[in-house]
A and B are shown apart, each in its own frame.
Chain A
């Protein structure tokens, strides 16, 4: 029997950054201290970079730093074709903790949650119930779920239902 918990995370700064990865690498390293993540990966502590697609990253920072980070990006990338958008208010993040995290999520996503297929540190954009969401495995027993703000209540209830069931019975993961 696992003991899973669910929390709506405190607001965080999120910047959707599109561009050629070669030109994004330098400014991103300066701002986050991290190299660009591999596909489906994440990089950085504190300020972090999540891989969204071959031309998109999600840069995470303190909500208060968004303006400064956007300004620095704009300056560093002034000569490069890119698009940096503040999406901090567009999404909500949930944190899930407990050893049954994979098992709970397997109830609501077609994404392969097996340890050998979805590694700790990776990010998967997928479907959660009936909406789009991203899952970031932050540890063996911890995950973050990102979804659009408007469906936050739906996702929260969906996660709570899955967690409650996984708390009752670990099925396969």
Chain B
């Protein structure tokens, strides 16, 4: 783990801080999540660092709890999409033939409808609860992970060292876990970062449209929705989530970039 570039370290630190804040939200937040403690849209002060929201709740508290919900939903959806997408993608690549054909064509079909539109169609008949949201987001996004992990695994699967393992008589398990997976890890980790960012943006968008996390629970997209009226009066309460989302996604991006660069450099020629 030597020689991690500064940018990646910075990314890791900030990402870690966000996750810590999410986990320990009740300890860090200065007030209760739905506690009304002041006037509507109070400006920033010593008591309320970010001011108050449209119902007179402390905005910093809402942001911290909102981050907790957003990060939790996004992480769960990413975990689901990743496990499902990667396992199916690897299976398709290693088995090939009709297994691959069937799964890949079905995947193409689901991907032919824009994710947001598909999600809206499904959410129009489903009850909007956290498990349903996670399920819908995870399933839809697993198509992207499937496509990538299949492509990566197909590339590795035709390499001579995999053939050498097959000629030795190694079983499917050794081939997947010892030959293919270690070489696919870096691009997959980079993709994990990108999918996580996408999930954050996606759940925020759904909540903003009123089809994601439901009040009184706080989440970053919801905070924008609740405080949007304020914008016209010059009250920036709705814009704070932007700062949080941008900071988090750039941090994750920095880590993902580094993970991706590591892949390319390992394939490189002779080093010393």
**A in complex with B:** no
* Chain B residues with a Cβ under 8 A of chain A: none
* Chain A residues with a Cβ under 8 A of chain B: none
